[in-house]
Amino acid sequence: MSEVSKALPLFRLPTILLRKINRYMDLQEILLISLASKKSAYIMRSLLPKNCFTLSLLFICNHSDIFLGSKGLWDRVKVSGQNVGDRFKLQVAQPSGDVTYLWAGSYLEDPVKLLLSHFAIVFNPTISIYFGDTCTQNFVMDLLLHLKQLNILMKDLTLSRFFISPENYKYVLDEYREVSELYLFCEVASNFEYRAGPDFRVDDFCVSDGH
């Protein structure tokens, strides 16, 4: 009587073999494997190169696009966002649709926070964000504070035409005074003043007229 062979669990392979196998995976496969469990997330993190991942988030016109990229090692991965009824969903899937992963929540910040927390653990990326004119102040500040807790390095930040309080406007200027690009086109009280110190070293800084 013949025996049925069992599949060899991937993570039981020696680390050297795992690193070699990892090179033949695309970034989407790496991401989906890392989402299998908390253990797989930490294992994939240990196998990946350091300081080579980027994350771009675009929130505009009730639409969200999130891109995970690397510095020339893999093609970038897109996480698609959609509003289904009263639920916000972010999804990554293989082209065949055989394997998918879904983040969902009643508010957009819920799935975005889950995604950011996972990406911080596995990829530790630098991040660029564009907050469009349909974003609310509460949504923006909630995500920025979450990013600070995750200790993710911000590279570029754009705030489009929505209202922001003087206190939060000052927070953004203080917190992101060393980013590469800082574009502030949001509305703030006309009497707002800010004195930038010598530690304000934004490479490309732009504000809209009247600020």
Measured between its terminal Cα atoms, the distance across the chain in Å is: 81
d(CA 28, CA 68): 9
What is the model's pTM?
Answer: 0.83
Confidence at residue 36, expressed as pLDDT on a 0 to 100 scale: 82
Cβ proximity of 76 and 66 under 8 Å? no
**What value does the mean pLDDT take over residues 33-54?**
88
Hunting for tokens 């240990």 — which residue is that? 46
H-only helix segments in the chain: 15-23, 27-34, 38-47, 109-122, 137-150, 166-175
Distance CA 126, CA 180 (A): 11
Pick 134 or 207 by higher pLDDT: 207
Going by pLDDT thresholds of 50, 70 and 90, the confidence category of residue 17 is very low
Query: SS3 for 85?
Result: coil
Given phi > 0 = left and psi -120 to 50 = alpha, else beta, which region is 62? left
pLDDT tens-place string over residues 108-135: 889 999 999 999 999 999 999 999 988 8
